[in-house]
Amino acid sequence: MAISETSRSDTIGAPALSDERERKTALYGQFARVGKALANPARLELLDLLAQGERSVEELGQAAGMKVGNTSAQLKALAAASLVAARREGAKVFYRLADDGVAELVDQVKHFAAARLAEAERAARDYLGDVQALEPVAQGELARRIDDGDVVVLDVRPQAEYAAGHIPGAINLPHDQLAARLTELTAHVAAGTDIVAYCRGRYCVYAPDAVRLLRDHGYTARPLQGGLPEWRRAGLPVLAGHSTVAGHATEGPS
Catalytic positions are 199
Contact 211, 34 (CB under 8 A): no
Contact 80, 69 (CB under 8 A): no
What does the longest C-alpha to C-alpha distance in the chain come to? Answer: 101
Contact 107, 198 (CB under 8 A): no
Beta bridge partners of residue 134, listed in sequence order: none
Contact 247, 184 (CB under 8 A): no
Contact 221, 211 (CB under 8 A): yes
